[in-house]
């Protein structure tokens, strides 16, 4: 019998889990692949990790490195140290990393030092802001990977500008859309009922980027804008652990308590979040995932950052980058609340290959070109 191809996939954070769910499913369907899943343990809370494995039916990881939280250098180094042992033991034909988090870079760097071929999913994204840890992770991961799977032609252009060989770049679409298409079919109102909300009569807020939540000024500006917006529409805020920690640290709990129409809730499962996004009037966020999910779901999105690596969602989708100044956030939110969302929705075009078949394309390409036998 033909020997199976061993593929190690490295994941560590909430968005990584969502992205690899369809990929692992495709690999398991293939008779030729033996998938090995490594969870670095970067995210470890039930609401940040296990709930996604359960809901998206991702198999238990073969290895959990249990690394946890720490400084960037510490976290990256710890993952590398532990992952090296796993890769040496498993001796895979290929290593897959996804996205732009510390687990992505640590996974790619460990594999590169051991000369294992690497595939990077969601390659080529650039915000051109090197103060963001994600930008450093993206740049370095792309330049040591062998197969670069991009979500749009803009990412291909970014990679070509950096001198990367065209033959290593594959436009396959957005893997998160694979999951979103499935979840969209099942969207329910149960979370709305639970929170006492009505369709299109609330806004949704998420915040977790270091540039926002670790920066006292920016966080205060954003919360002050939310205070004003919430006078017109209730705002639901599922709180990321990092945001929770920093709200407490900066002593903003009182400021938040004084906003009667702002509702803080625990982080949600992917299905609950999809239902909440789909039915919202407006999303205010600094997340990467929500910028493209709102484009697919046709919901206006205001990105609370000065730049975005998801430029395609601004050019073709429902996203607008509005920065972090209080006045501007209020101005842009009021525009949406005052209109019937027309300008946002009329220009919307779902980008090429965001069709729910990205995982299939990736596996076909990997089997054809990249697996070392
Ligand atoms: C990480 C990614 C970010 C991604 C985000 C998605 C990096 C550099 N950042 O940010 O790009 O958008 O995940 O969620 O990799 N914490 C918990 N429980 C957990 C995990 C974290 O309480 O399960 C708290 C800890 O206090 C920790 C803090 O959150 O110190 C930050 O966690 P960390 O892993 O450093 O990165 P995120 O902010 O989650």
SS3 call for 201: coil
Atom of ligand 1 nearest to the CA of 42: 34
State in Å: Cα 76 to ligand 1 middle.
13
Other residues' Cβ atoms within 10 Å of the Cβ of residue 222:
23
pLDDT at 341: 60
Strands 235-238 and 33-39: unpaired
State in Å: Cα 219 to ligand 1 middle.
17
Asked if 337 contacts 282 with a C-beta cutoff of 8 angstroms, the reply is: yes
pLDDT at 372: 53
Mutation probe of ligand 1 site: the residue of 47, 50, 213, 242 with most atoms within 8 A of C-beta: 242
Mutation probe of ligand 1 site: the residue of 50, 69, 290 with most atoms within 8 A of C-beta: 69
Of the candidates 347, 21, 351, 14, the one whose C-alpha atom is nearest the C-alpha of residue 183 is: 21
pTM above 0.95? yes
Residues in the ligand 1 pocket, defined by CB under 6 Å: 13-15, 42-45, 48, 69, 100-102, 133-134, 208, 240-242, 245
Atom of ligand 1 nearest to the CA of 133: 8
Q: Whose CA is nearest to atom 11 of ligand 1?
A: 101
Asked if 371 contacts 27 with a C-beta cutoff of 8 angstroms, the reply is: no
Other residues' Cβ atoms within 10 Å of the Cβ of residue 36:
19
Q: Whose CA is nearest to atom 15 of ligand 1?
A: 101
DSSP letter, residue 125: -
Mutation probe of ligand 1 site: the residue of 16, 42, 127, 139 with most atoms within 8 A of C-beta: 42
CA angle 221, 224, 225 (to 5 degrees): 85
Asked if 229 contacts 202 with a C-beta cutoff of 8 angstroms, the reply is: no
State in Å: Cα 242 to ligand 1 middle.
6
Residues marked as catalytic: 208
pLDDT at 234: 98
The C-alpha atoms of residue 238 and residue 244 are separated, in whole angstroms, by 10
SS3 call for 118: strand
The domains of the chain, with CATH numbers, are: 5-174+354-370 (3.40.50.2000), 190-345 (3.40.50.2000)
Other residues' Cβ atoms within 10 Å of the Cβ of residue 28:
11
pLDDT at 23: 98
pLDDT digit string (tens) for the chain, length 373 residues: 678 899 999 999 999 999 999 999 999 999 899 999 999 999 999 999 999 999 999 999 999 999 999 999 999 999 999 999 999 999 999 999 999 999 999 999 999 999 999 999 999 999 999 999 999 999 999 999 999 999 999 999 999 999 999 999 999 999 999 999 998 888 888 999 999 999 999 999 999 999 999 999 999 999 999 999 999 999 999 999 999 999 999 999 999 999 989 999 999 999 999 999 999 999 999 999 999 999 999 999 999 999 999 999 999 999 999 999 999 999 999 999 997 666 677 778 999 999 999 999 999 999 888 665 5
State in Å: Cα 43 to ligand 1 middle.
6
Q: Whose CA is nearest to atom 7 of ligand 1?
A: 101
Asked if 234 contacts 263 with a C-beta cutoff of 8 angstroms, the reply is: yes
Q: Whose CA is nearest to atom 9 of ligand 1?
A: 101
State in Å: Cα 88 to ligand 1 middle.
28
Other residues' Cβ atoms within 10 Å of the Cβ of residue 48:
16
């Amino acid at each position: 019998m033909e020997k199976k191809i061993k593929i190690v996939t490295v994941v560590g954070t909430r968005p990584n889990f969502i992205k690899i769910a369809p990929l692992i499913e495709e690999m398991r369907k293939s008779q030729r692949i033996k998938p090995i899943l490594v969870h670095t343990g970067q995210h470890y809370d039930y609401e940040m990790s296990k709930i996604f494995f359960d809901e998206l039916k991702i198999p238990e990881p073969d290895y959990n490195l249990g690394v946890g939280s720490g400084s960037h250098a510490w976290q990256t180094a710890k993952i590398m140290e532990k992952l090296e042992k796993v890769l040496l033991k498993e001796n895979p034909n290929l290593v897959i990393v996804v996205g732009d988090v510390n687990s992505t870079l640590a996974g790619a760097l460990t594999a590169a030092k051991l000369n294992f071929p690497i595939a990077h999913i969601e390659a080529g994204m650039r915000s051109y802001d090197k103060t963001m840890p994600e930008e450093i992770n993206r740049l370095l991961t792309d330049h040591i990977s062998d197969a670069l799977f991009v979500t749009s032609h803009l990412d291909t252009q970014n990679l070509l500008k950096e001198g990367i060989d065209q033959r290593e770049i594959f436009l396959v679409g957005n893997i998160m859309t694979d999951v979103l298409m499935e979840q969209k079919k099942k969207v329910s109102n149960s979370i709305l009922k639970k929170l006492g909300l009505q369709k299109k009569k609330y806004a949704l807020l998420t915040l977790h980027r270091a540039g926002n939540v670790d920066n006292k000024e920016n966080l205060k500006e954003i919360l002050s804008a939310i205070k004003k917006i919430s006078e017109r529409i209730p705002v639901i805020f599922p709180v990321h652990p990092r945001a929770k920690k920093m709200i407490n640290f900066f002593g903003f709990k009182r400021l938040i308590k004084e906003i009667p129409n702002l509702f803080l809730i625990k982080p949600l499962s992917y299905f609950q979040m999809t239902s909440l996004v789909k039915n919202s009037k407006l999303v205010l966020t600094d997340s990467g995932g929500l910028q493209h999910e709102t484009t697919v779901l046709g919901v206006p999105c205001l990105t609370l950052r000065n730049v975005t690596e998801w430029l395609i969602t601004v050019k073709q989708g429902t996203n607008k980058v509005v920065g972090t100044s209080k006045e501007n956030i209020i101005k842009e939110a009021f525009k949406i609340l005052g209109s019937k969302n027309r300008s946002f929705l009329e220009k919307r075009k779902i980008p090429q290959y965001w069709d729910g078949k990205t995982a299939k394309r990736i596996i076909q390409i990997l089997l054809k070109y990249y697996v070392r036998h």
